[in-house]
A and B are shown apart, each in its own frame.
Chain A
Amino acid sequence: MQNEVVIAGFGGQGVLSAGQILAYSAMAEGFNVVWLPSYGPEMRGGTANCSVVVSDQPIASPIIPHPGAAIVMNNPSLERFGPAVKAGGIIIINTSLINIKCQRDDVTQINIGANQVAMDLGNGKAANMVILGAYVAATKAVSFDVLKATVREKFARKPQFEELNMRALDAGFELAGKQM
């Protein structure tokens, strides 16, 4: 079993931290995991992405040119990573900020208005948790309970965000579940 995902968006959308939370959850569940951020010149352009590989086997290449899934938070991310996802894979699209169509018909597309959902919950910054919940619903890369426990632990010292993030994860999880 190996799950690979690229999470991409603008800097500040929390894509790197969403990837880290996924990585912490995978480790808590006893999986091997590699979290690899984009670094270098592209860091300076305001876009950010990371890839997370979760496996029950030792992970060979940390570089995944054709991941099983992509979470795309904005238009440039869809343009760049939409075509990269392997056939039969999953693309999770943040429809709050993406107004272009994904041209693939050989992948499962899941549409989540992550920013809108997060704002409805009280804080647009939780969009990354909405979409992470959706990803876990769609791929079962890690157990949803372990994911929630990880987020609780990470936000233990900020209770105001802990509850918000829990509701964000739940909302994303449910929305994706309806589309599967």
Chain B
Amino acid sequence: MGKKVLMKGNEAIGEAAILAGCRAYFCYPITPQTEVAEYLARRMPEVGGTFLQGESEVAVSYMLFGAGGAGVKVFTSSSSPGISLMAEGMSYIATAELPIVLINVMRNGPGLGGILPAQADYFQATKGAGHGDYHFIVLAPSSVQEAVDLIVKSFDMAEKYSNPVMLVADGMIGQMMEPVELPTFDEPPSPYVKGHEKWATTGAKGRERNLVKTLFLNPHEGQDHNVKLQTKYKEIEANEIAFEEIDTDGDLDVLLVSFGTMARVCKTAMESLKAEGVKVGMLRPISLWPFPLQRIRDLADKTKLVVSVELSMGQMVEDVERAVQGKTPVGFFGRAGGIVPTPDEVKDGILNLMKES
């Protein structure tokens, strides 16, 4: 690791992609992540990479497909309405098993909504924005440092599983400045995906031709491909569940489940809850897909209440309920994106839910 630098989240996100070896970035401007594009418009040419502002997020998603299908490490950033437009491409990218990486710096919706922080794209990210049975790996950083670390990790995971990876941050992580240690490498990572010669379209010189496609007109062939995808998803579920636990030792009155910036607000709320004698712990999912179902299920055995705290009207809570399987009451506390609840509001919300349960 290098020395600490103070960076704005959006700029750190751009730099992290470059450090991970990515030399291709396609984008369309949308608040609150446009600084990623502005940063990379300057940085990509400096490192001999490709920067291109596309005509729409729809087109950008296929530029990712094209470059990813050519075996290149490729990245984009967008925000909620832009991700909706990319949803079509995301289905194709996942089907073609292209190792692309993207980040959704989430803003409040639905519709045009606003440009303030939100987590209401949880369903979109984890349940599939596009059509068909597919999954992106979905990771949620809660600090600028973690965003940097997870972007570098995302390129590795994308390559390892031949699967797209999406990071979901909220607008606040994009806008805030925090000290970060940028990763250093003995050998700079390659701008090309390892092993791409076997499948990528680069010109069929001295080999059989490669074909990157998503069409399976023969239903048996289509089923085989789906089974192959599901087998891979099982492997990812077995290997890549990531979370942080805070104060979960011993029996609990309440277990909070929260991710991203909201989890940081919860951490502060936990201090005031403890001051009032509440035994409170938190599980912060870092991987939203795969989701830490089993760990939450285990923790549910030793708590009186589980509460999902979100910057949405209640989305992750469905997965929390799926994890808890009715063993323990599950509550929800959240705000529509755009208004980040204060630690005191979270504390009061939790206390109310404890009274009701």
Contacts and interface: CB of A to CB of B under 8 A. Distances in A.
Interface stretch (A31-39, A121-129, A167-175): A31-39
Contacts of B32: 39-40
B88 interface: no
Interface stretch (B52-60, B151-159, B233-241, B259-267): B259-267
How many chain B residues sit at the interface, stated as a range, is 20 to 34
B115 interface: yes
Contact of B171 (A23, A35, A39, A61): A39
Contacts of A32: 178-179
Contact of A40 (B116, B264, B267, B268): B116
A29 to B, nearest CB: 11
Contacts of A35: 6, 176-178
Contact of A61 (B175, B177, B268): B268
Contacts, number: 65
Contact of A33 (B115, B172, B179): B179
A27 B271 CA distance: 25
A62 interface: yes
Given A34-B176, A34-B177, A39-B32, A60 B268 contact: yes
A33 B5 CA distance: 11
B45 interface: no
Interface string B149-176: 0000000000000000000000110011
A63 B116 CA distance: 13
A61 to B, nearest CB: 4
Nearest to A51: B176
A159 interface: no
Contacts of A37: 175-176
A11 interface: no
Interface in B173-190: 175-179
Contacts of B267: 60-61
A40 B115 contact: yes
Interface stretch (B205-213, B299-307, B337-345, B349-357): B337-345
B172 A36 contact: yes
B177 A62 contact: no
Contacts of A24: 6
A60 B264 contact: yes
B114 interface: yes
B182 to A, nearest CB: 14
Interface in B201-238: none
Interface of A: 20, 23-24, 27, 32-37, 39-41, 59-63, 65
29 contacts: A20-B177, A23-B177, A32-B179, A33-B177, A33-B178, A34-B176, A34-B178, A35-B6, A35-B177, A35-B178, A36-B172, A36-B175, A39-B115, A39-B116, A39-B171, A39-B175, A40-B115, A40-B116, A41-B114, A60-B264, A60-B265, A60-B343, A61-B265, A61-B269, A62-B176, A62-B261, A63-B172, A63-B261, A63-B340
Question: 10 closest A-B pairs (Cβ-Cβ)?
Answer: A60-B267, A35-B177, A61-B268, A60-B268, A65-B342, A61-B265, A27-B179, A36-B176, A40-B116, A60-B264
